[in-house]
């Protein structure tokens, strides 16, 4: 199938549901990007505009995949916070700092689209990146602890409590 | 970690008194002072930050959010002069008071209308505020009258440094500060300058300017209003990109474009004066006339007319009233302010009547009631 706006093959198949009845669009990557960016330009507030853009981009992320690939991708879950890729791309908001690691491959093109860059420049905290990473592990341990308690696995729960305490104490 | 200086206003009564004082004071961003203040209303900068050890809002439980709130509250109050702040628990605050804070731009609509544990710490002088448990765990916001990027940045950045001594932020070597929405990742900074552009709206040049700004990756939005037609002709220009550029570069990008827009607005005003003075004067005088005599008036119409009068003052066409009084009226005629000043909750019909009465009282000199901001003449 050809792109509806040029001669390139259509790789993006978008069904627009905002109007009265669904409209099918078949576009090449360039025109799909243009379409999604334009659609994101309409809302009033700067915050909601970029947020919507992110949301649409996040939805778009999955559009290049086959149905099976997409289903598989959607089920990918962050081991720290438990958010699925499907949840992220439907709400445009991530669940925890570790999502940037888990969904790195999918986020990369999205970040490039929004910012045109993928390397931070500017301010940084005085504490180390390592400390930040360690603290984010607490999200996983706390979740595991909750599960262990529910399963009455007290041995595991006690080990997790120690781990959590170690991290918390190492930074104070 | 315990706070040496607990928040001063823990009781409900204290908070009511604090908010009462706030209404009767003049918000920093409406002081009408500072460089280019005839056109530049205010400068705002916000930083988005998250604690490394808790999920973002979409995955945080109420218990998580209570802990986040406690940690950040203590980090802010530690070593700070607690009497400088008002601590507001948004979860338990009345809807009208929440709306009041939104109208004063001290908290976002999203925080005010959200759910679950969330709060704000507000500087009494309204030069900065913190939002806890908004989209990100922490939003540090600084504001000033007129064009004042460097000063606001210093203030916001210092608070960021201070808080960071007490907490561990989510930070990545490559992606910088990690945020709930990928649009804020990196610096987490949003730099906004609010402009009053009535002549560009009147001469229909505003759309052209918007389009050129969008090409520069800058966002434009109207204040209060929805869509591109801003209420009161107030427009906010802000950066879109937060990753890959330093805070200074981002600020410079916004700062560089402002003089050009100011220049366009001045030229548009000059053109109106030169080529259409009678019509312009008529329009402004009629606006003033309606505001001084109307018996019932909506918030939208009030903003629209006040905008004309504001321009009239700067063009020397209206001399009966000063710019500060007009700036105050923009805020005090907003729904929540109006009701708080009247001391009672009002439905829309009654609000429009009360608004007209309020305007008549403040704009007609013979009543002698246009002296103090906030007006002792309320109620």
Mapped onto helix, strand or coil, the DSSP state of residue A76 is: coil
pLDDT digits (tens, 9 = 90+) for B295-316: 999 998 999 999 999 999 999 9
On average, the pLDDT of chain B sits at 89
Window from A21-30, A67-76, B2-11, B120-129 with minimum mean pLDDT: B2-11
Per-residue pLDDT of chain A (172 residues; tens, 9 = 90+): 777 788 777 766 565 544 445 566 777 666 666 665 554 333 334 444 555 666 666 666 655 666 777 788 888 999 999 999 999 988 889 999 999 999 999 899 889 988 999 999 999 999 999 999 999 999 999 999 999 999 999 999 999 999 999 998 876 5
Chain B neighbors of A82, CB-CB under 8 A: 59
Would you state the pLDDT for residue B366?
Answer: 54
Task: Report pTM.
Answer: 0.85
Would you state the pLDDT for residue A46?
Answer: 42
Would you state the pLDDT for residue A54?
Answer: 64
**Whether pLDDT at B202 is above 50:** yes
Would you state the pLDDT for residue A170?
Answer: 78
Mapped onto helix, strand or coil, the DSSP state of residue B211 is: helix
**Where does the pLDDT of residue B228 fall: very low under 50, low under 70, confident under 90, or very high at 90 and above?**
very low
Cβ neighbours for B203, distance < 8 A, ≥ 6 positions apart: B268, B271, B272
Taking one residue from A and the other from B, the number of pairs with CB-CB distance under 8 angstroms is 175
Q: Is A130 exposed, middle or buried (0-12, 13-18, 19+ CB in 10 A)?
A: exposed
Window from B6-15, B108-117, B157-166, B190-199 with minimum mean pLDDT: B6-15
Q: Name which of B58, B157, B247 is nearest A83 (Cβ-Cβ).
A: B58
Cβ neighbours for B233, distance < 8 A, ≥ 6 positions apart: B196, B197, B198, B201, B307
| Confidence check on the interface: ipTM exceeds 0.95, yes or no | no
Please give the structure tokens belonging to residue B374: 């906030």
Nearest-angstrom CA–CA distance, A145 and A140: 9
Q: Which of B18, B1, B21 is nearest to B10 (CA)?
A: B18
Q: Which of A34, A129, A168 is nearest to B178 (CA)?
A: A129
Q: Residue B219 and residue A46: Cβ atoms within 8 Å? A: yes
**Where does the pLDDT of residue B32 fall: very low under 50, low under 70, confident under 90, or very high at 90 and above?**
confident
Q: Name which of B54, B226, B244 is nearest A121 (Cβ-Cβ).
A: B244
Q: Residue B226 and residue A44: Cβ atoms within 8 Å? A: yes
Mean pLDDT, rounded, for B240-259: 95
């Amino acid at each position: 199938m050809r792109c509806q706006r040029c001669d390139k093959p259509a790789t993006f198949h978008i069904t627009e549901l905002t109007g009265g009845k669904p409209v099918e669009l078949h576009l090449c990557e360039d025109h799909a990007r243009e379409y999604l960016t334009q659609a994101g330009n309409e809302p009033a507030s700067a915050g909601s505009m970029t947020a919507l853009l992110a949301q649409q981009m996040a939805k778009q992320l999955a559009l290049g995949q086959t149905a099976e690939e997409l289903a598989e991708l959607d089920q990918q879950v962050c081991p720290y916070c438990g958010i699925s890729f499907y949840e992220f791309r439907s709400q445009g908001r991530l669940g925890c700092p570790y999502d940037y690691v888990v969904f790195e491959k999918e986020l990369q093109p999205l970040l490039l689209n929004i910012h045109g860059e993928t390397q931070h420049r500017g301010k940084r905290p005085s504490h180390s990146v390592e400390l930040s990473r360690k603290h984010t592990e607490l999200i996983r341990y706390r979740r595991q602890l909750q599960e262990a308690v529910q399963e009455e696995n007290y041995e595991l729960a006690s080990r997790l409590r120690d781990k959590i305490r170690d991290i918390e104490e190492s930074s104070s | 970690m315990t706070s040496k200086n607990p928040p001063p206003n823990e009781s409900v009564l204290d908070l009511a008194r604090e908010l009462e004082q706030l209404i009767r004071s003049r918000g920093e961003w409406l002081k009408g002072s500072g460089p280019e203040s005839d056109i530049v209303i205010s400068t705002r900068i916000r930083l988005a930050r998250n604690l490394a050890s808790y999920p973002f809002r979409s995955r945080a439980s109420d218990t998580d959010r209570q802990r986040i709130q406690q940690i950040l509250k203590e980090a802010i109050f530690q070593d700070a002069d607690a009497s400088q702040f008002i601590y507001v628990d948004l979860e338990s605050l009345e809807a009208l008071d929440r709306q009041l804070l939104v109208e004063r731009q001290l908290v976002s609509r999203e925080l005010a209308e959200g759910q679950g544990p969330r709060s704000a710490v507000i500087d009494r002088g309204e030069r900065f505020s913190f939002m806890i448990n908004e989209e990100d765990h922490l939003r540090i916001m600084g504001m000033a009258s007129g064009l004042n990027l460097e000063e606001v940045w210093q203030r916001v950045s210092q608070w960021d440094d201070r808080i960071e001594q007490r907490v561990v932020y989510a930070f990545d070597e490559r992606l910088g500060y990690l945020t709930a929405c990928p649009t804020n990742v990196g610096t987490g900074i949003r730099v906004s300058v609010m402009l009053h552009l009535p002549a560009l709206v009147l001469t229909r040049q505003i759309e052209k300017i918007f389009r050129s700004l969008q090409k520069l990756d800058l966002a434009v939005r109207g204040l209060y209003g929805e869509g591109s037609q801003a209420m009161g002709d107030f427009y906010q220009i802000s950066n879109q990109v937060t990753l890959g550029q330093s805070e200074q570069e981002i600020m410079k990008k916004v700062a560089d474009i402002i003089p050009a827009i100011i220049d366009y607005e001045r030229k548009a005003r000059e053109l109106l004066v030169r080529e259409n003075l009678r019509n312009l004067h008529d329009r402004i005088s009629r606006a003033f006339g309606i505001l001084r005599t109307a018996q019932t008036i909506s918030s939208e119409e009030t903003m629209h007319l006040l905008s004309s009068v504001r321009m009239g003052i700067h063009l020397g066409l209206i001399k009966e009233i000063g710019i500060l009084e007009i700036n105050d009226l923009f805020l005090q005629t907003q729904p929540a302010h109006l009701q708080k000043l009247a001391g009672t909750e009002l439905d829309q019909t009654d609000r429009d009547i009360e608004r007209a009465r309020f305007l008549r009282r403040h704009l007609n000199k013979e009543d002698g009631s246009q002296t103090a901001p906030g007006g002792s003449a309320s109620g």
